[in-house]
Amino acid sequence: MQIDAGRVIADLRELAAASGGEHAGAKRLAWSPDWSAAREWLGGKLAELGDRVTVDRDEAGNLWAQLDGDGSTDGFVVVGSHIDAVPSGGWLDGCLGVMAALEVLRTLAAADAPPPVTVRLVDWADEEGARFGRSLVGSSAVAGTLDPDDVRGLLDAQGTTLQDALASVGVDLDAAAGARSRLDGARAYLELHIEQGPVLLDTGRLASAVSGTFGDERYLIGFTGQSAHAGSTPMHLRRDTLAAAATAALEIREVGIRHGGVTTVGSIASSPGVITAIAGASEMMLDLRHLEAEVLATMLAECRAACEDAARTFDCEVAFRRVFGATPTPFHPELVALARRAVDAAGGGDGPPIPSGPLHDATEIGRLVPTVMIFAQSDPPISHTEVEDSSEEALRVAIEAYGATVGGALELVAAGGLEAAR
């Protein structure tokens, strides 16, 4: 199947112009009015496809659009990604996959005959987790791994709870599990994304099939000591939680280096937060990732030990709250091979599939449904920033490869391949 890369890029630029500007920092924070406006824009694009495409929203806030097949094959193929963005994020992260999926539906809707398999587009809700620290909210609800009690009290920077943010757009956190039925009968999931890193640029490849995603553990770690006057409290008597957290953060960095993974302390917030007082309480945000589950577990144990050691050193207490976890997710080998051939045929260069360090909705869905991703080269090789970019050549290659991979997956399913999710 050939899809029009030029139209995908035009849609991306139109969305960027409506979301702040191509390199002005995307304004599509999940559950916000800006995000809702972007979804309305997407809804307008879907409405242009006519009555062959039906659109609705599930209990977790995910947006779905369906184009029925000819009835000859059971199940359906899912295409999509996410339209939400981090604050001041880039113009391609997530929405590249949504616009490519839109073009898949547009191409199929314009064909003389329906496809052999039903195709569903999905725009996953709150992939980024930028407001509340809990990524993949919509896809994890569909995958059955979202426990409302684990996320109920999460707050954004303004003190809004996650459940209140969901409620503001008509989503009930406690009813989100009802979205699980959306995968019943799914035969494949295919997602296009920018790489967000340097591997493809360093090797000169414009695109690549993706072998799978890293596992991830995400914690809030609270240190409790004693606030006291900065001038009258001797150094050896201080119960300084910021000192404990900072000491732990340096050792956590070594854990990532030692095991060939990545460990990140994204924030340390301390109180009372004044220049003349010792920090009596500090909360650390910890994220760690690795491609192997056993190594990830070892890294987590060592990070916890580093925090406990630092707490003892500074006479503090420490508590751990897990806010997110994802096991490493290898993608379906038959679909990975299909994507690799499509990338090569589109001019992206042949090379081994690369793993993804960043999480994606494919991480959740890939545990239940045969899944593959394709990456477009990032240049510069960074993301979650307004300067995020990819060359038009890389975008065209990746989009064309994605269309061909979707077409190949439809043929594979129509021929009886790939088992449906139950």
Q: Binding residue per annotation — 290?
A: no
Q: Binding residue per annotation — 384?
A: yes
Q: Return d(Cα 389, Cα 195) in angstroms, integer.
A: 10
Q: Binding residue per annotation — 127?
A: no
Q: Binding residue per annotation — 259?
A: no
Q: Binding residue per annotation — 128?
A: yes
Binding positions for Zn(2+): 82, 93, 128, 193, 384
Binding positions: 82, 93, 128, 193, 384
